[in-house]
Amino acid sequence: MNKYLPLICAFLLAACQKTPTAPDPYAISTMDLKPVPAKVTSERHKGAFAEGASLSMGAVLKPLDPSAIKTVRLDTTHKIIEIAPGVKFSAWTFGDTVPGPTVRARVGDKIRFVMTNRSDEPVPGVRVTAAPMMHSMDFHAAMVSPQDKYRSIAPGQTIEFEFTLNYPGIFMYHCGTPMILEHIASGMYGAVIVEPRNGYPTKADREYVVVQSEFYIKPDPGKQKVDGAPLYVLDTDRLRDSRPTHTVFNGVHNGMVKNPLPAKVGERVRMHVLNVGPSKTSSFHVVGTIFDRVWFEGNPDNQFRGMQTVLLGSSNSATVEFLIPEEGSYIMVDHHFANASQGAIGLVSTATKPPAKELEHHNIPATRTPTDPEAIAGKLGFESKCLACHTVGEGDKLGPDVAGVTKRRSKEWLTRWMKEPEKMLQTDADAKAMLKEYNNLPMPNQSLTDTEIRQYLKYFEWIDAQPSSTH
Ligand SMILES: [Cu+2]
């Protein structure tokens, strides 16, 4: 017997214990770290301000769009938003909403991003938005040269760049143009949710996005008004002192108190929470339940179990999952109660009606009008000829709610329908089915000209490009 055998065995054992390490999910070899240079042009985009199948508006998160390349357009605009009842604030936006739309994707996906700076486009009837200015886009989900991809572009310019998602998580995006603080506090932010390559380890019944942020506002020193209400503008003194006037979830003071997020008893709710700041910390808590899981920064590798609260600095995030134990309204708060009292409160409630329809509906404020002249003509025509039987986003009347109609039907179909509904009702299966649904009341031919039909279509397309909202 070899006297070295025990030694050799010991050596082999030690070696064996080291070898079978699991592959690193973040191995550099699995990543794309060679993004192509950004492109800046003077092409001006004229269509919808936000485009892409991966985008969700409001708190309800759409399921993952399976395509590996996600085309995302978020144009910058200047507009008046209502951050609390009657409080009209002169905001700067991505995609014409605050927060901007949520992008949902998966590790390995490529984001093909395009943005036109449209801060110089006049808002009809409103002459009080901020002067046009430079803007930019900074995606925390990307690994790219900031000097190339995040450069500022002038009004009328378009920037395009792409990047691959290397890490899962909930990542902030924001404007990075100086003064960054002012651009963020004016509304230029949103979330990118990147699922792990193989999905989440749990199955959720509901998925919501909650973005917390602060507003720092004061009445316009020039005393301008919007629809009779005083206009509010950024208060830069408060901003620099970190003294917000409002701290809110999803852009609206107590917004999800008025319109609670629905959930049923026994359901597992997955909530992606991003604290934008720009300057405050959030102590996120849901009264009445416990976070079964907390994935800090939205990455299941950073897991905590059984937590009451998760602490989020500016631009930190977490995916939290919790069960709804019994009937009730579970209260989301920033447990820094000074922040909650400024509006960072919302409800997840078993008492709401099934909201799917309501949430898909477009609560377009009466003050919002299209900018395209054809769409404006379409709106006027619609209001005089069609409102007897149709609504926009307020449910079915004698005929269907037209919000979403361009998603249900093709342009050709709608054109034929508006031209000759009686003929369609005889020849087209979808039209016949619709007639049945609407109590066999045939829509009378409205004797529309081709021009009018084109205008209605433009208006319908504009409606469907508006972000739906939960408030
Ligand atoms: Cu900006």
pLDDT in tens, the chain (471 residues): 556 666 665 555 555 555 567 889 899 998 999 889 999 999 999 999 999 999 999 999 999 999 999 999 999 999 999 999 889 999 999 999 999 999 999 999 999 999 999 999 887 656 667 889 999 999 999 999 999 999 999 999 999 999 999 999 999 999 999 999 999 999 999 999 999 999 999 999 999 999 999 999 999 998 988 888 899 999 999 999 999 999 999 999 988 988 899 999 999 999 999 999 999 999 999 999 999 999 999 999 999 999 999 999 999 999 999 999 999 999 999 999 999 989 999 999 998 754 443 333 344 555 577 888 888 888 888 887 788 778 888 787 778 999 999 999 999 999 999 999 999 999 999 999 998 888 777 888 888 999 999 999 999 999 998 876 433
Report CA(153)–ligand 1 centroid distance (Å).
9
Backbone dihedral region for residue 335 (phi beyond 0: left; psi -120 to 50: alpha; all else: beta): alpha
Report CA(282)–ligand 1 centroid distance (Å).
24
Report CA(132)–ligand 1 centroid distance (Å).
10
Q: Which residue has the tokens 């102590």?
A: 283
Report CA(134)–ligand 1 centroid distance (Å).
6
Neighbours of 260 (CB within 10 A): 21
Domains in the chain, CATH or no CATH each = 30-203 (2.60.40.420), 208-356 (2.60.40.420), 373-465 (1.10.760.10)
Residue 400 near residue 417, CB atoms below 8 Å: no
Report CA(332)–ligand 1 centroid distance (Å).
30
Report CA(18)–ligand 1 centroid distance (Å).
51
For the chain, how long is the longest CA-to-CA vector?
A: 105
Report CA(128)–ligand 1 centroid distance (Å).
18
Report CA(118)–ligand 1 centroid distance (Å).
11
Q: Which residue has the tokens 């849901």?
A: 286
